[in-house]
Amino acid sequence: MGARTTPESPSKEKDAADPVNKTKTDCKDEKKCWVDDYDKEISTPSYGRYSQPYKKDGTKHAYTDKVQYKLYAPVKTGTEITIEIKFKVEKQADVTDADVTSAKTKLENGVNTYWDNKFTLEADDPECGKKSFKIRYKIVWVDSGQHYTIKVHKTYAREGVSGNVMNVSKTTDDWTYAHEVAHCFGLPDEYSYTTDDETVKYYKPDGTLDAAVSAPTFKAKDAADATIMSSVNNLTVLKRHQWYVAIETQELLTAKLGRKIKCDIK
C-alpha cells in the first residue's frame, strides 16, 4: 500500500516554471494590440449619422441620401487611414476623350489639394494606448463596380451629386470637384437650399452633435466662418469635415476588437 504523500510544489525545484506566474506572463503576451489590418465597404445615409441639417424653425430637414466609399484601416501594419472612392466616368454629348482625361486630372487635383493628408486620426484603445494615422484619399477609376458615376456634360447648370451620380460640366475646376467629392464621402452643404437662414450640425466622433453651423442661402467666400462646404472657392477645411472618418473607423475597430475604441481627429 503506497503512502499518500503531499506532492512537492513544482516550483520548489530549481528552474521549474511556476504555473501561476506562467499564466500571468501568457496573459500579458496575449494582450491584443493592433493585431490586424481592417477594411470595410461603407454604404450609409450621411444625414442623421455624419450631420443633420435643420430648417429655420429648428426642425430637422428630412433629407435622405446614401454615401458609398471604402475605408482602409491598416492599424497593424500601416500609418494611414485611407478613404477610397471608385468612380466611373460617362461622357455625355459633345464631350471628348480629352475632356474626360482632363476631368479625371482635375478631380484628382482637387482631392489631393483640399482633402488628402490634411488631418490625423488618433485611435485610442483602452488596453493598448493611442496610435495615430494620417487620413489619405485615393481615387480609383473603374468601368464597373463604381461607388459613383460621374456624368461629364458639355455644360451642366446646377452641378452636384444626386443619388450616386455626379453631374458636372467639362469645364468644371479643381475646387468644384473637391466640393462635390466631399458630398460623395458624406459631407453636407453648409448653405441653405431655401431662402431661409438655416443651420447644419455635425456629429462628433463621441456621438453628440456639435454646435450649429450657420447655413444661409449665400455665405461670402471671405466670411470668417466660410468653408469649402459653404462658399465657392473658399479653401477652408476643418476637423469637423473629417469626423466621419473617426465615426466609421471607431465603429469598425470596436466591432473587430470587441471593446470600445475611441477615435478623434487631430
Task: By CB under 5 A, name the binding residues for Zn ion.
Answer: 189
Place of cell 482637387: 110
Task: State how far the Cα of 145 lies from the Cα of 23, in Å rounded to an integer.
Answer: 49
Determine the angle formed by the axes of helices 174-184 and 97-114, rounding to 10 degrees. 70
Q: Which is nearer to Zn ion, 186 or 205 (CB)?
A: 186
Cβ-contact 71, 81 below 8 angstroms: yes
Least distance from Zn ion to the Cβ atom of residue 159, Å: 9
CB-based closest residue to Zn ion = 189
Q: Which is nearer to Zn ion, 65 or 189 (CB)?
A: 189
Q: Which is nearer to Zn ion, 53 or 205 (CB)?
A: 53
C-alpha cell at 49: 449619422
Task: State how far the Cα of 29 lies from the Cα of 10, in Å rounded to an integer.
Answer: 23
Least distance from Zn ion to the Cβ atom of residue 145, Å: 25
Task: State how far the Cα of 199 lies from the Cα of 56, in Å rounded to an integer.
Answer: 7
C-alpha cell at 254: 470596436
Q: Which is nearer to Zn ion, 123 or 184 (CB)?
A: 184
Least distance from Zn ion to the Cβ atom of residue 163, Å: 14
Least distance from Zn ion to the Cβ atom of residue 42, Å: 20
Both ends of the chain: CA-CA distance in Å? 75
Least distance from Zn ion to the Cβ atom of residue 261, Å: 31
Least distance from Zn ion to the Cβ atom of residue 29, Å: 51
User: How does DSSP assign 172-223, residue by residue?
Assistant: --HHHHHHHHHHHTTPPPSS-SSSS-EEEEEBPTTSPBPPPEEE-S---TTS
Task: State how far the Cα of 236 lies from the Cα of 23, in Å rounded to an integer.
Answer: 54
